[in-house]
Structure 1
């Protein structure tokens, strides 16, 4: 088989069509995550009591492991920000509470089928997946470049296509200039 722009474009597009759809779909959702964030849903929620030390420095990993062991959840990590404590548990639990309170909300979450999983692919920091995504990015460049080289004649890149490509490049540049 002769390697042509058309063949490269077609075969790479076929190979990556699933990832193109997943990344496009999850990218649109991530763009609107302030309004709607369907990666996880809460399947259980309960009020819990937790007596916190007055001194924020005493709220350590060891303290939280001991203080939360009766929550039926395994401590993973925590953060303190703006007078609030968030504790993450390995079994997809999250505890949120104010440092000044003795009660908080413990929620257990699950990934939303399909949507949550595509968003996970979009956001993951797994080293293998990052390399695969980089290869995917290079393949997208190949698909774009071979795609613009396929048409010939009056609708080809050298006659008409370069003008549309230039307009397509100007739009994001203007956005970056106007909304830095």
Structure 2
């Protein structure tokens, strides 16, 4: 049987994982800078509203559901709460922010960005199958890195002479 060479293993693992490497790196870059922009979603409409809010202690999940229906929002509620004078409700495809004192606010409607939102989901997934796949992927990246050190065996550009300094 032919001996597996580092070059062949390095090449084949690289080919096998290239799509995942690129999408993981791409979505990682977007996640690193998500405080400056929201790559997962884009705004389709912003609408000003004026609401008479109840007392702050009555701003709860039940009120948020009723207000969503009143505002013709048929999404599922993700979270709601009052903080620093603002009442916020986050729906699946809408965000509502209302100033508690004045009742002035806005509804922001948005949609998921195709492809980008799916690749970013990779970083957030906690399902068991994904954890196992990520572990295999991590071990494969380690293998790709180590086998890459053996590709150039001797000479000025070998790992022994130059690569270890860069690593």
Look up the SS of the partner of 2:88 in the other structure. Answer: strand
Higher helix share: 1
Aligned to 1:60: 60
Task: Return closer, same or farther for 1:79/1:18 CA change in 2, 3 Å cut-off.
Answer: farther
CA contact (8 A) 1:79 1:87 kept: yes
Structure 2: stretches of 5+ with no match in the other structure: none
1:61 positional shift: 0.9
Structure 1: stretches of 5+ with no match in the other structure: 166-180
Per-residue deviation, residues 137-166 of structure 1 (Å, max 9, x unmatched): 22222211111222200222222221211x
Look up the SS of the partner of 1:129 in the other structure. Answer: helix
CA contact (8 A) 1:75 1:87 kept: no
Aligned to 2:12: 11
TM-score (normalised: structure 1): 0.76
Aligned to 1:136: 137
**Residues 159-174 of structure 1 aligned to structure 2 (within 5 Å):** 159-165=161-167
CA RMSD of aligned residues (A): 2.3
CA contact (8 A) 1:68 1:75 kept: no
Please give the alpha-carbon distance, in whole angstroms, between the structure 2 residues aligned to 1:95 and 1:24. Answer: 32
Per-residue deviation, residues 6-39 of structure 1 (Å, max 9, x unmatched): 2221121111111111122222233333333332
Please give the alpha-carbon distance, in whole angstroms, between the structure 2 residues aligned to 1:94 and 1:63. Answer: 15
TM-score (normalised: structure 2): 0.81
**Residues 44-55 of structure 1 aligned to structure 2 (within 5 Å):** 44-55=45-56
1:125 positional shift: 4.0
| Number of residue pairs aligned between Structure 1 and Structure 2 | 163
Aligned to 1:171: none
CA contact (8 A) 1:95 1:105 kept: yes
Look up the SS of the partner of 1:2 in the other structure. Answer: coil
Task: Return closer, same or farther for 1:4/1:94 CA change in 2, 3 Å cut-off.
Answer: same
